[in-house]
Structure 1
Amino acid sequence: MSKTPIEFIFLTFGERTHYHSQLIYSMISLVAHSPLERPYHFTIVTDKPEFYQWLDGDLFTVVQVEESILSEWRGPFDFFWRIKIEAILYVAKKNSEHHCVYFDTDTIAYTDLSLLYDALDNGLNHMHVKEFEFESTKGRTGKKMKTHGLGKTYGDFTLTKQSAMWNAGVVAISAKNDPVQTLNSALTACDAMCDDGMERKLIEQFSLSLALQANKLSDAEDCIRHYWGNKPQWDNLITEFFTRVFLKGLSFNDAVEMFKLQSHDLPDVVKETKLEKYKNSIAKRYNKLTGKL
């Protein structure tokens, strides 16, 4: 019996090469931990296709997007992270019979992915981890969103105390759950929340959470690591990895085998001290005032 193919989707743009290196490293990790019998394909949505010339063969498709498309994807309320939903939807429309699996660049697979793929076959969507439900949220952003939106309807979804926020470092939609319709529902909810003046910080993530949990939804943290809170250490590891790949003249498949021997004894999140938080806060304010953000 043939297995439903996995369509892996990545999105990155801009000149900062460490994001592009993270993306390729994430792809390598997925190949290293995917069972041989499962067909899969990678689509990379980017404005820098020249950064992906090392990737050769039918396994990879690089979709170049111009600034005009990125501007269009920001939508009627000029919301930057709406681009993420649009990019996933763009690829899902071209591969509607595949499981639709998006990863942020700062993720890696760290164990066999068979259970994740089998769960998708059975109609179970995945995001990285549940962050909070409205009923129990304690964070500043969650409280603001709860106060603003509880009881309101955005698109297909009415917010209740059980409405949950999931981390969108992983967005995996089973082919059984109509990825295109699911993502269109997320877009509609996203635009409705923007129109209503909802706290914007996590709107695209919350919209995806609502859309995916309309069907069965589970976490993916048992096989995927998301190092959003410790990028400097991980970037150093990845830079060293690709330096060795370059110096040895290795192919992508060679790099996959090298990855299998790589140690990842690094934390995914490093908590800032109070002094570091203060310094970073000052730096962000300065950059905002000087137009660097």
Structure 2
Amino acid sequence: MNIVYLAFGKRFEIPQQAIFSILTILPHVSTNDRIIVLTDNPENFNLLKGKVDIVAIDDEQIQSWTGEQDFFWRVKIKALQFIVEKFNNAPILYLDSDTFLIGDLKKIKLELQNGNNLMHLNEGKLSKSQKKTEQRTWKKLKGTSHEGITIDSEKAMWNAGVVGISERVKETLDLALSLCDSMLKTNPKHPSLLEQFSFSISLGEHATLLPIEDCIGHYWGNKNQWNDLIGSFFITCHLSCKSLKEQIDFVQNMKFGSIPVHVKTTAIRIRYGKLVNLVSQLLPKEEKKYVIPNN
């Protein structure tokens, strides 16, 4: 099984999250498993040298993967196609950087071996969603046909923080890309979620699609608290000079249930936050003082 992470961009939280996620998985992989990180900053993963395959991808390659519509999240599909071409056609388990293993990796492998495909969770029928982005997407796509597949009211949106493909890996990814490109032409001004929806459809075309949220935690809905936790973890490890093995052991003993993976913010809190930002812009600027180097 190829376990794949993508870590692009300059934000240090991304490689930090990805390394933390890998630390939760490393003790559970077998000799038949390969952990692969595609990144434009390979030096950020030196800690894991010898344990994972670190594949450097430059900005030009990433940009080409965005396609004619310059849709960044199309990169996820293209990157997985790249993995299939570079390594092998083995089952793929793609994980967003903001994930961690909470269950049994053997269960994930068993589901893939049984021919099932996996995504993090079923978020519900696109046609029934109460979220504005999903409603806008449904309005544009309903009744349209892409690669012979009609977008009807039964089509569901699955969370793509986990993408597990068991068999016909190349064929499934090719379909996901074709769907994404076709839907981009239908809805070019609001492309959000189209790569996610493409995965949701393509993974369900060739196999039974199952949720795997009981094995993989995904804290996309509470990144601030988790980034604080992970940042503190790495600072502690750095200051105490913990070895990789010690860091892995440390992570295995952490209580992941103490911090929520999702926090729903009410509309009034969002409006209050915007008001605070507006008021802060109207107030006098802070006085700042800097040191002056003696050279």
Report the TM-score, using the length of structure 1 for normalisation: 0.88
How many residues get paired? 275
Percent of aligned positions with the same letter in both sequences? 32
Give CA-to-partner distance per residue, 1:79-133, whole Å, 9 cap, x none: 1111111111111223334211111111111122211110100110100001111
> What residue in structure 1 maps to residue 14 of structure 2?
19
> What residue in structure 2 maps to residue 131 of structure 1?
123
Other structure's SS at 1:54 match: helix
Change (3 A) 1:138 1:237: same
Q: What are the residue-to-residue correspondences of 1:111-190 with 2, within 5 Å?
A: 111-174=103-166, 176=167, 178-190=168-180
What is the CA–CA distance in structure 2 between the aligned matches of 1:24 and 1:148, rounded to whole Å? 38
Q: What are the residue-to-residue correspondences of 1:143-292 with 2, within 5 Å?
A: 143-174=135-166, 176=167, 178-197=168-187, 199-214=190-205, 215-264=207-256, 265-278=258-271
Change (3 A) 1:281 1:165: farther
Q: CA deviation at 1:251?
A: 2.8
Q: CA deviation at 1:253?
A: 2.6
Other structure's SS at 1:171 match: strand
Structure 1 stretches lacking a partner, 5+ long: 1-5, 286-293
Other structure's SS at 1:245 match: helix
Q: CA deviation at 1:158?
A: 1.7
* Mapped contact 1:227–1:267 kept (Cα < 8 A): yes
Q: CA deviation at 1:274?
A: 3.2
What is the CA–CA distance in structure 2 between the aligned matches of 1:229 and 1:222, rounded to whole Å? 16
Question: Of 83, 93, 97, which residue of structure 2 is paired with 1:91?
Answer: 83
What is the CA–CA distance in structure 2 between the aligned matches of 1:55 and 1:284, rounded to whole Å? 40
What is the CA–CA distance in structure 1 between the aligned matches of 2:91 and 2:275, rounded to whole Å? 43
What do you get for the CA RMSD once the two structures are aligned?
2.0
Segments of 4+ in structure 1 off by > 6 A?
282-285
Other structure's SS at 1:123 match: coil
Other structure's SS at 1:11 match: strand
- Aligned residue identity for 1:145: T
What is the CA–CA distance in structure 2 between the aligned matches of 1:87 and 1:165, rounded to whole Å? 21
* Mapped contact 2:119–2:164 kept (Cα < 8 A): yes
* Mapped contact 1:9–1:100 kept (Cα < 8 A): yes
> What residue in structure 2 maps to residue 289 of structure 1?
none
